[in-house]
Amino acid sequence: MVKVIKEKFVVIGKEGSTLDGEGFIQKLWDDANSHFSEVAHLAKKDANGGIVGIWGAMSDISRSFKPWEDGFSKGLYLAGVECVDNAEAPDGWIKWTIPSYEYIVVENHKGMFEETIGQMNEDGISLVGAVHDYTDPVTGKGYLYFPIREV
């Protein structure tokens, strides 16, 4: 487990809800990926011109970035790309500005969400916001970002 502080950042993507039914996250990614050219120019880039990050951002239903409700079974999901702060979402896309947090970051593989929540509970660490999926565009590796403190 690594702790990092990430200042507020913007994600523009395709938004859906657990109320949309089984498989809704994959449908959002299919939609976002097939229309990526519409937002590619807004993506935040690193020094080499590569995209900084692909995010599966999450929030409670009220869009206040609290954890998903009802045992992490009810919430909103935004399949998108990290963008420059002043970017405006094109038609059909949604812009979220994720607040600044200190996160526990773990590599994402099967069971890691439950394992990390369990470890946090054992260590007396509370989740203060919704967990986000992050994909590193350079390595293709996925990570989970667990917010533990607002900054």
Q: What is the CATH number of the domain that holds 59?
A: 3.20.80.10
CB 85, CB 36: distance < 8 Å: no
Predicted TM-score (pTM) of the model is 0.94
Average pLDDT estimate for 97-114 = 96
Domain that holds residue 98: 2-150
pLDDT band at residue 33 under the 50/70/90 scheme: very high
Neighbouring CB atoms inside 10 A of 142's CB total 16
For residue 10, what pLDDT is reported?
Answer: 98
Q: How many CA atoms lie within 13 A of 18 on its CB side?
A: 13
pLDDT band at residue 1 under the 50/70/90 scheme: confident
Q: How many domains does the chain have?
A: 1
